Amino acid sequence: MCGIVGYIGKEQAAPILLDGLKKLEYRGYDSAGIALLNAGDIDIVKAKGRLKVLYEMTDGGKAVKGTCGIGHTRWATHGEPSENNAHPHCNDEKTIAAVHNGIIENYAELKEKLIKRGYKFYSQTDTEVATKLVDYYYKKYGDPLRAISEFALRVRGSYALAVIYKDFPETVFAIRKDSPMIIGVAGGAAYLASDVPAILKYTKSVYYVDNLQIARLERGGVTFFNLDREEVEKEIVKITWDAEAAEKGGFEHFMLKEIHEQPKVVKDTVNYIYQNGNLGFSEVGLSDKDFKKINGLIIVGCGSAYHVGLVMQYVTEDLARVPVRVELASEFRYRNPVVNGELVIAISQSGETADTLAAVRAAKEAGLKTLAIVNVVGSSIAREADYVFYTKAGPEISVATTKAYSAQLVAGYTFALKLAKIRKTIEDNEYSKLLKELSALPEKLELLLSQKEQIQKFAAKTMDKKDVFFIGRGVDYAVSVEGSLKLKEISYIHSEAYAAGELKHGTISLIENGTLVFGVLTQKKLAEKTLSNLVETASRGALIAAVASEGITLPEKGLDFVLRIPETDERFAASLAVIPLQFFAYYLSVLRGNDVDKPRNLAKSVTVE
């Protein structure tokens, strides 16, 4: 949510800031603004709406002078989307300006105290409170670092805060807590951002700012401090993917590009673990002894990551015969769960998901070991977990996840297989067979991509639907939940997913003439029962569609649309069955004229509660 950029160097800053903000549009926003240190003053330009409004106001940044500045895209939390509530915010004298991601939980209390000290407020935001709190301590102590450390000692909540001072015209100061921030240095310039794509064009060498760490950016250099304002050393991290990976590459939308990248990311993620004919988790930090200690799993995640956990539950329990429970991270963190030494697996694309990060911390407080399955090197969850499995999805720009979901699925498969091998719950020949099936998935995914035109035609016939249901059993139910979420996210059509056997327990009353019902059928032992449920809905006027494995026997009549997926081991079928559902959601969204990559009200990285 929201995006931050900062720059100090020799070039005009505003075009660089706007370029960085454009790279962060996928995070979701409703207003934008920049602040520049210019000839002893701070110039601020803000606008409600899309970034193009700010571009037009500033002639692409050319109209705003200065070589040091900060920028922000805001996703409304405190206060409606408006120019007043947009960032950057400033003090009364306009000698300090700041941008902020996150939520200051005690902002009302702090605001009241500042009002008593003579401060006035023009916005409804917690960020203006944060800015004026920094201003208060700067005026009190005359030290920009101390002002920021005093701010950190008095606020509760999450934040990534970047500040510029009129008195320090070639410096950007920053601090973070539970909200991502990276800093890059190259060519006599320093860059700050909330995510890598914003600065990848300029540098691949970045620092990941730690919690409660202050950074001082100057031309070509950065210095880090703890809250006592003592210098600390940090290691630089090299980004392994290039700027082109974050571009559309000729596709109409990022989502379509990322759907087509799934064969590659699945292959790369499997190869990360599968080497020399075996699965090795040394890169993850897990030894065979660690696997032997596992007596159960708790999987936590949000949204699509939670859905990966549902698939992983079926696969792991079936293969490794250990108890697995899947929890919404936003619920796990607030419960007092009964635990018994389980390994907690936290799944997150960004590695910054606020609820999942909090769940990791809750698990560690309970004395449990944690494994992160994340896509971003150096992210908060990766740094705090005991073990880290880095998926190889590369940058995912579209808000609706596709390739990151697929990479997480195969990461889960490899973990389940390794655990089964260590626990000796499968024979060696079965283990070898499943490894071959894993290696064959990318080629089968490629075959599925060639069927997109069939799905596009079906989407055109059903674009007027107001209600869609997805049903399945076992792994197929887990796929149905993800398919339903994709449809809701980007088409804005009401959609629900149900375990097929639950239809008759109330839900079937919602089926009426023309309702679209998707059945997912990849599990041979369960397919006949799910087909019976589909027939039940057809008899009530529903339009029936099915995604089915080649080996599933289907009736010659009664199904309005069928898309076949290649045969694979049933435990891995989710990787194939989800592709048609991704395409279906994508084409419906396009046909309805929606902004596919930036759906309304949603953000890519949910870094606040």
DSSP 133-193: HHHHHHHHH--HHHHHHHHHHH--EEEEEEEEETTSTT-EEEEEEBS--EEEEETTEEEEE
- Coil, helix or strand at residue 516: strand
Task: Provide the pLDDT for residue 246.
Answer: 66
- Residue 83 burial by Cβ neighbours in a 10 Å radius (0-12, 13-18, 19+): middle
CA count, 13 A, side-chain hemisphere, 141: 14
Q: Cβ contacts of residue 370 below 8 Å, gap of 6+?
A: 343, 344, 345, 346, 360, 363, 364, 384, 385, 386, 387
Task: Provide the pLDDT for residue 49.
Answer: 82
304, two tokens: 């699509």
Classify domain 452-591 by CATH number.
3.40.50.10490
Cβ atoms of 353 and 302 within 8 Å: the answer is yes
| DSSP conformational letter for 377 | T
- Round to whole Å and give the CA distance between 299 and 309: 6
- Round to whole Å and give the CA distance between 415 and 419: 6
- Residue 601 burial by Cβ neighbours in a 10 Å radius (0-12, 13-18, 19+): exposed
Tokens 């960085």 belong to residue: 20
Q: Which amino acid is at 221?
A: G
Task: Provide the pLDDT for residue 534.
Answer: 87
527, two tokens: 């397919």
Q: Which helix (H) or strand (E) holds 2?
A: none
- Round to whole Å and give the CA distance between 174 and 190: 12
Task: Provide the pLDDT for residue 28.
Answer: 66
Q: Which candidate, 47, 91, 95, 41, places its Cα nearest to that of 65?
A: 41
- Round to whole Å and give the CA distance between 404 and 433: 25
Render pLDDT for 235-290 as a digit per residue (tens, 0 to 9).
888 887 666 666 777 888 989 999 999 999 999 999 999 988 889 999 999 999 99
pTM of the entire predicted model: 0.79
- Round to whole Å and give the CA distance between 268 and 272: 6
Fold of 249-449: Rossmann fold (3.40.50)
Q: Cβ contacts of residue 307 below 8 Å, gap of 6+?
A: 301, 405, 478, 481, 482, 485
- Round to whole Å and give the CA distance between 478 and 304: 10
Residues noted as catalytic: 2, 604
Helix, strand counts (H, E) of the chain: 18, 27
Q: Which candidate, 74, 73, 75, 80, places its Cα nearest to that of 124?
A: 80
- Pairing outcome for strands 387-390 and 494-499: unpaired
- Round to whole Å and give the CA distance between 195 and 254: 17
- Round to whole Å and give the CA distance between 40 and 338: 59
Q: Cβ contacts of residue 54 below 8 Å, gap of 6+?
A: 18, 21, 32, 33, 34, 45, 46, 47
Cβ atoms of 527 and 564 within 8 Å: the answer is no
- Round to whole Å and give the CA distance between 212 and 176: 6
Task: Provide the pLDDT for residue 598.
Answer: 83
Cβ atoms of 224 and 215 within 8 Å: the answer is yes
Same fold yes or no, 249-449 and 452-591: yes
Within a 10 A sphere around the Cβ of 553, how many other Cβ atoms?
Answer: 10
Classify domain 3-245 by CATH number.
3.60.20.10
Task: Provide the pLDDT for residue 540.
Answer: 83
Q: Which helix (H) or strand (E) holds 474?
A: none
Domain boundaries defined on the chain = 3-245, 249-449, 452-591
Task: Provide the pLDDT for residue 244.
Answer: 65
Task: Provide the pLDDT for residue 495.
Answer: 92
Task: Provide the pLDDT for residue 117.
Answer: 95
595, two tokens: 């902004």
- Coil, helix or strand at residue 121: coil
C-alpha separations of 200 from 93, 144, 192, 204, 247 in Å: 35, 28, 11, 6, 11
Region class of 603: left (phi > 0), else alpha (psi between -120 and 50), else beta:
beta
Cβ atoms of 549 and 563 within 8 Å: the answer is no
Residues of the chain with pLDDT under 50: 607-608
